[in-house]
Amino acid sequence: MEFFTLHDFMTYSKGITYLVMGAILIFMPLYWIYLTDRDD
Amino acid sequence: MAQEQTIAQKQYLTPFNVVAGMIIIVGLVLTILRFTKGIGAVTNLDNNNPWGLWIGFDLLCGVSLAAGGYVTSSACYIFGLKKYHSAVRPAILTAFLGYALVVFALNYDVGRPWKLPYPIFYSQGTSSLLFEVGLCVFLYLTVLFVEFTPAAFEWLGFRKIRNWVLRLTLVLTIFGVVLSTLHQSSLGALFLIAPSKLHPLWYSGYLHVYFFISSMFAGMSMVIFEGTLAHRWLHDKMDDTHLAEANGVVLGFGKAASFIMMGYFGIKIIGIAVDNNWHYLTTGLGLWFFVELIVFVLFPAILYSVGSREKKTLLIRIAAVWTILGIILNRLNVSLIAFNWHLPSADRYFPSFMEIGTTIFIITLGVVAYKFVVTRMPILYEHPEYKEDH
């Protein structure tokens, strides 16, 4: 991926970052449920 | 009489004492060499690599692995998880010895031990992160010492002063958490000044966050690991409460460590995404980064999760050792392996055998001091005269 302006770079890298953050926000509560669902 | 003497000699001539004694003798020789011939005589440090194994391992790994003190005491006294109470004293002792040895090891690197108080009392470099680290370590070592003293006072029979110090527990715990947050993160922030020297996969604007978050599961893993060793070698020193609560500590800390490690894995991926460093992942150091992240973070996190779900403490104990190795690898990557990564191999740093020997000497001192304290003071058991106080 080639970038010609800082704006291009930020749009691309922040876009990917937000997607990763969204995935983490969904994954972490599910992971917590997985960790604790057998607790007494 | 002669038979008694032979028995006494046998008690001292254990394999542990012999090996530790030999290491300490070699370490003392290396110490004399270091302080008489200078740092150049015993290390491979140069202008390109002014920080070596003593900073990368003794300081960075030492501080992160001593995080069990603030993690355990905050779990017990701030979050009210009293079921981990039996783990607090061993964790505080490990943290205290860990920090004391960090300061001790720093003298080898800096030299001139008599100038150690200078940054705190004489010439404060308030714009430097190193000053912040120094101040926090100085204050936190003091906090840990005070937190440790009740055990020593119980041993010595100083009931009044022991009761007085015990009243400070909550304040000291809060102070400890604040100081740990500050200096654990600052140790990572030290490398923010070297963006051109540290490999982009390890360099990140979030380096201080990585160091702080990773210190949490490093501390938990260390508590589990140290508990395992105590269970194996100092079983006779543990009372029924400690033995009964040991599995609960392992399961609880394993679960917490797993969750934090998954979060850490996530923010490491965010770090790559923010700086758009994906293309480095296919290089040699990129593969090494994968090893650190997949083999030493994701894998033990999964191992921890399976262990805590299935209530298999052996899996958690294996994951703890794995995580500790991962933390050591991460700190060495940041400070040594991925540092100056662009230099030709002839200019890269590898520690001399005397540096490695000194590090082993310092670790041995810690183990000997731990054993000395644990076999005498009420660390793994409650003092019979103070049981009603808990």
Prediction ipTM score: 0.94
Name the closest residue on chain B to residue A17, using Cα atoms.
B273
The confidence score (pLDDT) of residue B136 equals: 92
Burial class of residue B288 (count of CB atoms within 10 Å of its CB; 0-12, 13-18, 19+):
middle
Mean predicted confidence (pLDDT) in B261-288: 95
The confidence score (pLDDT) of residue B237 equals: 84
pLDDT at B1 over 60: no
The confidence score (pLDDT) of residue B277 equals: 93
Asked if the Cβ–Cβ distance from B255 to A36 is below 8 Å, we say: yes
Q: How confident is the model at residue B6 (pLDDT cuts 50, 70, 90)?
A: low
- Greatest CA separation found in chain B? 76
Cβ–Cβ contact A27 with B under 8 A: yes
Considering the entire predicted model, what is its pTM? 0.92
Nearest to A39 by CA among B248, B60, B140, B215: B248
| Token pair listed for B246 | 């040991």
Interface test with B, best of A13, A28, A33, A37 (most B CBs within 10 A): A13
Residue type, B170: L
Cβ–Cβ contact B110 with A under 8 A: no
Asked if the Cβ–Cβ distance from B309 to A38 is below 8 Å, we say: yes
Please tell me which of the candidates A12, A28, A32 has its beta carbon nearest to residue B276.
A12
Interface test with A, best of B268, B276, B279, B305 (most A CBs within 10 A): B276
Residue type, A32: W
Nearest to B284 by CA among B223, B345, B225, B228: B345
Asked if the Cβ–Cβ distance from A17 to B275 is below 8 Å, we say: no
% of chain B surpassing 70 pLDDT = 96
Cβ–Cβ contact B263 with A under 8 A: yes
**Average pLDDT value over all residues in chain B:** 92
The secondary structure of chain A as a DSSP string is ---SSHHHHHHHHHHHHHHHHHHHHHHHHHHHHHHHTT--
Reported as a single tens digit per residue, the pLDDT across B109-167 is 998 899 988 988 988 888 888 899 899 999 999 999 999 999 999 999 988 999 999 99
- Greatest CA separation found in chain A? 57
Q: How confident is the model at residue B390 (pLDDT cuts 50, 70, 90)?
A: low
The confidence score (pLDDT) of residue B241 equals: 80
Cβ–Cβ contact B305 with A under 8 A: yes
Reported as a single tens digit per residue, the pLDDT across B221-253 is 999 999 999 888 888 888 888 888 888 999 999
Name the closest residue on chain A to residue B262, using Cα atoms.
A28
Mean predicted confidence (pLDDT) in B63-78: 94
Asked if the Cβ–Cβ distance from B263 to A28 is below 8 Å, we say: yes
Residue type, B207: L
Mean predicted confidence (pLDDT) in B302-309: 95
